[in-house]
Structure 1
Amino acid sequence: MSSFIKKLSQSHRDCPECPSPKLIHAFFESTLGLLFPDFASELLKEEDQIAEKIEELKHKLSRILIRNKHLHEGEGAEIASLFFEDLENVYDLLQQDVEAIYDGDPAAKSKTEIIRCYPGFYAVAAYRIAHSLHRLGVSLIPRMITEYSHSRTGVDIHPGAKIGERFCIDHATGIVIGETTVIGNCVKIYQGVTLGALSVDKDDADKKRHPTIEDYVVIYAGATILGGDTVIGHHSVIGGNVWITKSVPPHSKIYYQAKMYNPSSNETDTYIIKSQG
């Protein structure tokens, strides 16, 4: 038991250098509440209140980064300032995401409903905030934000992924978007989609391991697309439950065509690519 106590004591001595999940989750929720009052604990109706809140959150982020210099290579206060300078861009992208979800979902009665009720929006909001920190060279904290969202929504988006404008996740759950995924503009994906890697070899950690999805692609439920060299061409439609490890030309439709089993021919499901280009 004494050796076990020593191990725990050492882990507790080492831990103060790490920001607690509770602290990071609170910062994210406060930032999201600043951008969208639907998530705020109190409404900030005056401009000076907004300005004060921004300075408060900037100070909190600055302190977190200054206390955890091992998580970045810059100056904590400068990174915090750059993050809040980029926050308007994050806000504009999220507004476009809301528009895309509203335009693409007949069940959505209002944009307020999307913001307050749709886990897909929440997951994308967490991603965009985390991605901004990731781009500034901050490690661990962006992942803590997206994993917090993952635990609430079932959507796992790595903060290193690159996602364009008007991104729409419908019926969000069970979605995985890997670290080196590149997604263009006006892409829509449904539940159970995986954009993953063909290899989990540590030697490939710095390589592009995940697919590229070009503009105006729709990916239906359960589809799995793997590999860093795999490109889904623009304006393509990927059917449900397909497994793709090779590139697809633009304007394609990909789906499984189920056939009735015939013992004499021993037919199985057939993988179909229909090109419209």
Structure 2
Amino acid sequence: MTTTNTTFLDHLLAQRAQYRYKLPSRPDAGRFIDQLMRLLFPVTQDCQSASQHVGETYQKLNDQLVCLFRPLETNMAESPEVVAERFFERLPAIYDNLLLDAHAIADNDPAAVGMEEVIAVYPGFYAIAVYRIAHELLRLNVPLLPRMLTEYAHGQTGIDIHPGAVIGGSFFIDHGTGVVIGETTIIGENVKIYQGVTLGATYVAKSMAQKKRHPTIENNVVIYANATILGGHTVVGHDSVIGGNVWLTGSVEAHSLVFNQHKTDVRLKSLDESEPINFVI
């Protein structure tokens, strides 16, 4: 072995000693999520699915979750077995919330054929489902794994929801690509957002880690595509509509309609191709 290789290996060992956490593998985390989704919503199946017996599958998922917790055990206040038991006790409430989300999409999207399509196909529903699972694990003080799960969903859907966000029932993400929902975001009931929406912070600094940095969206709000709403003190009042491409860094009252006003210039050449004719729309 060359001197360069030896030096590099020594560097790797020194760096390894500085890591504060060990984590489960990303493939294992993804498999757990997808198998749990098939247990909750058995509208799809593959040729290699686990046992059709719900009780047996349930126990296997419990064992998988304990396995995911093992690398994190030294950073957990309770044993992996206890935390897994607490999570599965909360699973019925998670399931009920996800049914509300699925109904919100199926009932409000004219393109949705029914609940089965929403559950099997819609990226918005999948991202919300993974978020709700990860959020409960975060509430159980599980480190890092909740973020691994939502980042797995992010990779699958293009929708980035931090597990620390607080999101009410009947949540609807339509299309979804490019949606970002930050850690301290609070979203009320019956909220609908479209692709490209960012609920973010106005200022990014490590000193802000324990402060509310992201907006509050009250009940029955609709946020259209590519709108950006920033700031921990920003509150969008209930029953408001935020139009597409809006940039919002301040609060708006309930029942507000916020939209961009813009002018579009269309330039057409005249028949003799000399001076262009200008139209303002």
TM-score by length of 1: 0.87
* Code of the aligned partner of 2:77: E
Deviation at residue 12 of structure 1 after TM alignment: 6.7
Corresponding residue number in structure 2 for 1:150: 154
State how far apart, in whole Å, the 2-side matches of 1:64 and 1:154 are: 24
Of 32, 44, 47, 2:37 maps to 32
Residues 167, 185 of structure 1: 8 Å contact kept: yes
Corresponding residue number in structure 1 for 2:79: 75
* Code of the aligned partner of 2:181: I
Instruction: Note the 1:118-267 alignment, pairs <5 A.
Output: 118-259=122-263
Residues 23, 145 of structure 2: 8 Å contact kept: no
> Cα distance 1:3–1:100, how it changes in 2: closer, same or farther (>3 A)?
same
Structure 1 consecutive aligned stretches of length 4 or more whose deviation exceeds 4 Å: 9-16
Residues 179, 196 of structure 2: 8 Å contact kept: yes
Deviation at residue 3 of structure 1 after TM alignment: 1.6
> Cα distance 1:252–1:71, how it changes in 2: closer, same or farther (>3 A)?
same
State how far apart, in whole Å, the 2-side matches of 1:260 and 1:217 are: 28
Query: Is residue 110 of structure 1 aligned with residue 94 of structure 2?
Result: no
> Cα distance 1:39–1:131, how it changes in 2: closer, same or farther (>3 A)?
farther
Corresponding residue number in structure 2 for 1:65: 69
1:178-219, Cα deviation, whole Å (9 max, x unpaired): 000000000000000000011111111000100000000000
Larger radius of gyration: 2
Q: Runs of 5+ in structure 2 lacking a partner?
A: 266-281
Deviation at residue 31 of structure 1 after TM alignment: 1.1
* Code of the aligned partner of 1:50: V
1:3-52, Cα deviation, whole Å (9 max, x unpaired): 2233345567879932111221111111111111135443765xxx2122
- The residue matched to 1:28 in structure 2 has which SS? helix
- The residue matched to 2:260 in structure 1 has which SS? strand
> Cα distance 1:61–1:176, how it changes in 2: closer, same or farther (>3 A)?
same
Query: Is residue 20 of structure 1 aligned with residue 10 of structure 2?
Result: no
Count, aligned residues: 258
State how far apart, in whole Å, the 1-side matches of 2:93 and 2:226 are: 31
Q: What is the aligned-residue RMSD (CA, Å)? A: 2.0
